[in-house]
Chains A and B, each alone.
Chain A
Amino acid sequence: MSATTATPMPVPAVETEAAPPRRPGTLARLVREPVAAVSLVLAVVLIGAALLAPVLSPTDPYDNDLASAMALPGSPGLPLGADAQGRDMVTRTLYGLRLTLAMGLASVLLGGGLGALIGFTAAFYRRLDALLMRLMDVMLSFPAILFGLALAAIFGPGIPAVVLALSVATVPLMARIVRGSALAIMALDYIEAARATGMSDARIILRHVAPNCLSPIFVFATLRFGQVILLGSALSFLGLGAQPPTAELGAMAADGRNFLFFAPHIAIIPSVGIFLVVLVFNLLGDALRDALDPKLRV
């Protein structure tokens, strides 16, 4: 009856069953914060640009035109200029973004997923805890770069080796974070209530433990996404990742370092791309965490 009034009703002291207006959903709360809204828009733009690279780009990323080599941004037909081989920087950046995002996402999903699984297992089945965590410690002692070197030696340099190395480097970090927060959640009474109900272990983990560990997982996954992209770029820079003609932001930045004095845009444009990706996903992860937390719903 009075559910249309603008102000929410106070906790009912009067005998009425009219519910106060409903709270906004997750997405509505996400875009309410200006920083969150901007980062969401930018993330959509970045992902959209990456997905639509073949449609958006004027040329093929491997078409070279030596006549326009190192053309500066603003040259006719080349809004962002061309690289040392005369390839269009707009096209190369779009394709590079596509590959870089895919690499970062694959590593975080693979490594993070496996790490979370190990973390939940260690927290829930305490018998396995010590064994699994010592195993994680061993993995943690290998630097990602070293692991990348080893994998490149075995499988040959390339993107699969980079993704594998970055995933393996992500597993123990995620496992530790998930184990810690799962242990804290599992000490709470509602887990005991779930047990008292006769729920299966899988159901308790999926419905009661995991959703309450989402905040740290989200924050870590987004932070790690940025780190992984930087690490992947470093591996490409070392010649272990994306191989020369391939358009990948890290490899492109490495490529441009030889021409910093004559044509700085060749290094700067992919670097700005990396910077934007890392920044946008960090901000977005932060905003998402706040929006997903029912305790912060007003």
Chain B
Amino acid sequence: MKEGPLLEAVSVAKHYPVKKGIIVSRQVGAVRAVDGVSFTLHRGETLALVGESGCGKSTTARVVMRLIEPTGGDIIFKGQNVTNVAGAKLRALRRHLQIVFQDPYASLNPRLTVADTIAEPMAVHGIGDAASRKARVQELLRLTGLRAFHADRYPHEFSGGQRQRIGIARALAVEPEVMVLDEPVSALDVSIQAQVVNLLGDLQQRLGLSYLFIAHDLAVVKHVADRVAVMYLGRIVEVAGKRELFSNPRHPYTRALLAAIPRPDPSRRGAVTPLGGDLPSPLNIPPGCRFHTRCPVAQAVCREQDPPLREIAPGHTAACHFAEDLPRFDAEADGGIAPVAQRRLAAYAAARERRALAAVPAP
């Protein structure tokens, strides 16, 4: 980390007011979807944001992209506070932050051809003329593994994986520095997932992109991430390097997540105690540590004091009063990732290398 962070979120919050009454409405509470999230993203790095449904991962990403206005906190891009920029400055910022969506069936306008879809962001930002944009579309299609004649087709003529490639090409069109990947592979078949994950990896290496990778599939996270941030109920509870997080998690929630990874091993049956209870409502967040209602090691202090996110080892932060006191994590072979999933990703990587050797390098 030679330079400062590329993108930084400082105690970002998004609260949705809940109102009652039709004529005279008053606020009766707030849904605290994101409640003080801080993280940094460095150039060329992949930061994975994981957590269960409804914990605020996607909202966080959209707030950081300025697609949703934050209720509080600051967003800092390249050392500049961009929390309140508007107009031309916001447009300029948009060029640097792009997003790839989860659902490839909802993320492409069905009435635009692939070429129009990919060229439009360039046109909006006044990049090149019609001819150079056309050439760039071809280049992007090649870069994302699509074919030249695909340019004239409509989205419905493509499979989910191909659509996701189109979505990636559209995001790349304006040469962004940060890409938010909002569960980019969760809607795809397993065989296609590996292709798209590897494509994203290749693109990152080639173009020096930074990824904010939102996911819930920990096998994929293990494959792509450099660092992992675990979110629970609108807040980050643990951040660490990938290896560290998977082998030595210091927050009980992270442990529960890792333990919940399904493993095709009947001898382990009964060895895992699943987390009881439900995610509390973000409308009524428990006092003290927000995880204490489901935490297996909760003590009296957890019900009263909200533990801050603190550094427990270099590059490893956790928000637990007992982070240091937790017993050694029963890390299964390879940090709890099912060997089958590992093999699946490895096999694809091997196939890709074979193909790269066979292919004639593009000029």
Task: Mark A residues whose CB is within 8 Å of B.
Answer: 12, 17-20, 22, 188-190, 192-199, 203, 207-208, 211-212, 294-295, 297
B109 contacts A by Cβ under 8 Å: yes
B226 contacts A by Cβ under 8 Å: no
A190 touches B156 (CB 8 A): no
CB pairs A–B below 8 angstroms (21 shown): A12-B147, A19-B149, A188-B106, A189-B106, A190-B109, A192-B99, A193-B167, A197-B120, A197-B121, A197-B125, A198-B91, A198-B92, A198-B125, A199-B120, A199-B124, A211-B111, A212-B111, A294-B110, A294-B111, A294-B154, A297-B154
B240 contacts A by Cβ under 8 Å: no
A193 touches B124 (CB 8 A): no
Interface flags, B142-162, vs A, CB<8A=1, else 0 = 000001110010101000000
Task: Mark B residues whose CB is within 8 Å of A.
Answer: 62, 65, 67, 90-92, 94-95, 97-99, 101-103, 106-112, 120-121, 124-125, 147-149, 152, 154, 156, 167, 170-171, 174
CB distance from A17 to the nearest CB of B (A): 6
Give the docked Cα–Cα distance between A18 and B124 (Å).
31
Give the docked Cα–Cα distance between A199 and B98 (Å).
13
A17 touches B149 (CB 8 A): yes
CB distance from A163 to the nearest CB of B (A): 32
A212 touches B65 (CB 8 A): no
A198 touches B107 (CB 8 A): no
CB distance from B150 to the nearest CB of A (A): 9
Residues of A within 8 A of B95 (CB): 198
Interface SS, B side: mixed
Give the docked Cα–Cα distance between A193 and B149 (Å).
24
Q: A193-B107, A193-B171, A198-B124 are in contact. List 19 more A-B contacts (CB 8 A).
A: A17-B147, A17-B149, A19-B148, A189-B106, A189-B107, A190-B107, A192-B62, A192-B67, A192-B101, A193-B101, A196-B98, A198-B90, A199-B120, A199-B124, A211-B109, A211-B111, A212-B111, A294-B110, A297-B154
Residues of A within 8 A of B92 (CB): 198
Give the docked Cα–Cα distance between A190 and B154 (Å).
14
CB distance from A137 to the nearest CB of B (A): 15
Give the docked Cα–Cα distance between A297 and B65 (Å).
36
A197 touches B94 (CB 8 A): yes
CB distance from A110 to the nearest CB of B (A): 26
Residues of B within 8 A of A198 (CB): 90-92, 94-95, 124-125
CB distance from A189 to the nearest CB of B (A): 4
From B101, which residue of chain A is reached at the shortest CB distance?
A189
Task: Pick the residue among A17, A189, A196, A208 that contacts B97 (CB under 8 A).
Answer: A196
B108 touches A190 (CB 8 A): yes
CB distance from A5 to the nearest CB of B (A): 15
CB distance from B154 to the nearest CB of A (A): 4
Tell whether A212 pairs with B94 under 8 Å between CB atoms, given A197-B120, A197-B121: no
Give the docked Cα–Cα distance between A12 and B167 (Å).
20
From B94, which residue of chain A is reached at the shortest CB distance?
A198
Residues of B within 8 A of A17 (CB): 147-149
Residues of B within 8 A of A193 (CB): 99, 101, 107, 167, 170-171
Residues of A within 8 A of B152 (CB): 19, 22
Give the docked Cα–Cα distance between A194 and B174 (Å).
12
Residues of A within 8 A of B147 (CB): 12, 17
Give the docked Cα–Cα distance between A12 and B90 (Å).
41
B99 touches A294 (CB 8 A): no
CB distance from B111 to the nearest CB of A (A): 5
CB distance from A9 to the nearest CB of B (A): 10
Of all A-B residue pairs in the complex, the 5 with the closest CB atoms, nearest first, are A19-B149, A198-B94, A189-B107, A198-B91, A189-B101
Give the docked Cα–Cα distance between A199 and B106 (Å).
18
From B88, which residue of chain A is reached at the shortest CB distance?
A198
Give the docked Cα–Cα distance between A192 and B171 (Å).
12
From A18, which residue of chain B is reached at the shortest CB distance?
B149
CB distance from B113 to the nearest CB of A (A): 9
Residues of A within 8 A of B65 (CB): 196
Give the docked Cα–Cα distance between A190 and B116 (Å).
13
CB distance from B292 to the nearest CB of A (A): 35
CB distance from B170 to the nearest CB of A (A): 7
CB distance from A187 to the nearest CB of B (A): 9
A212 touches B125 (CB 8 A): no
B170 touches A189 (CB 8 A): no
B67 touches A195 (CB 8 A): yes
From B93, which residue of chain A is reached at the shortest CB distance?
A198
Give the docked Cα–Cα distance between A208 and B117 (Å).
10
Give the docked Cα–Cα distance between A12 and B150 (Å).
11
B106 touches A294 (CB 8 A): no
Give the docked Cα–Cα distance between A22 and B148 (Å).
14
From A185, which residue of chain B is reached at the shortest CB distance?
B109
B124 touches A197 (CB 8 A): yes
CB distance from B202 to the nearest CB of A (A): 19
Residues of A within 8 A of B170 (CB): 193
CB distance from A251 to the nearest CB of B (A): 42
Give the docked Cα–Cα distance between A221 and B90 (Å).
39
CB distance from A173 to the nearest CB of B (A): 24
Give the docked Cα–Cα distance between A208 and B167 (Å).
15
Residues of A within 8 A of B111 (CB): 211-212, 294
CB distance from A133 to the nearest CB of B (A): 15
Residues of A within 8 A of B97 (CB): 196
Give the docked Cα–Cα distance between A295 and B170 (Å).
21
From A9, which residue of chain B is reached at the shortest CB distance?
B149
Residues of B within 8 A of A22 (CB): 152
CB distance from A120 to the nearest CB of B (A): 16
A212 touches B99 (CB 8 A): no
